[in-house]
């Protein structure tokens, strides 16, 4: 239950494919609460269409439903494949640590 009082809804989305309503509400002194509302008569979230969710929506769903193995596997399958990921060797000395820090710094500056 969100609260016995009206709360501000910060985000609302209806997905016509899965018929899922996704809501983020701001609850005073508690922060944000994410709510997934299944279609009426569905008996709950039995079979979700994870491929229609954005990565952020799927991540929020997994966080709210930590026991849903299928959702977790769908989220993991969206990660960067190993062959396209950037691999950094573990630094073995002080110079290696400096090289690693410099590489990460450049990577983060490029994203900003």
pLDDT digits (tens, 9 = 90+) for 62-95: 888 888 888 898 898 888 777 777 777 788 899 9
Note whether 43 and 60 are same-domain residues.
Answer: yes
Query: Is 94 inside any structural domain?
Result: yes
Please identify which residue in the block is written with the tokens 């809501």. 23
Query: Is 21 inside any structural domain?
Result: yes
Per residue in 101-110, is it b (16+ CB within 10 Å) or e — as a string? Answer: eeeeeeeeee
Q: Give me the percent of the chain exceeding a pLDDT of 90.
A: 1
Domains identified in the chain, total number: 2
Note whether 72 and 27 are same-domain residues.
Answer: yes
pLDDT digits (tens, 9 = 90+) for 2-46: 455 666 777 778 877 777 787 777 766 666 777 777 776 555 544
Task: Say if residue 52's pLDDT is above 70.
Answer: yes
- pTM, two decimals, is 0.38
Break the chain down into helix, strand, coil percent, rounded to 5.
35, 20, 45
């Amino acid at each position: 239950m969100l609260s016995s009082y009206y709360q501000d809804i910060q985000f609302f989305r209806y997905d016509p494919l899965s018929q899922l309503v996704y809501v983020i509400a701001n609850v005073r002194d508690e922060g944000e609460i994410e709510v997934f509302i299944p279609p009426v008569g569905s008996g709950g979230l039995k079979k979700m269409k994870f491929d229609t969710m954005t990565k952020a929506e799927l991540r929020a769903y997994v966080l709210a439903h930590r026991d849903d193995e299928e959702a977790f596997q769908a989220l993991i399958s969206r990660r960067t494949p190993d062959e396209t990921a950037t691999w950094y060797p573990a630094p073995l000395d002080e110079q290696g640590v400096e090289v690693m820090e410099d590489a990460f710094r450049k990577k983060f500056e490029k994203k900003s």
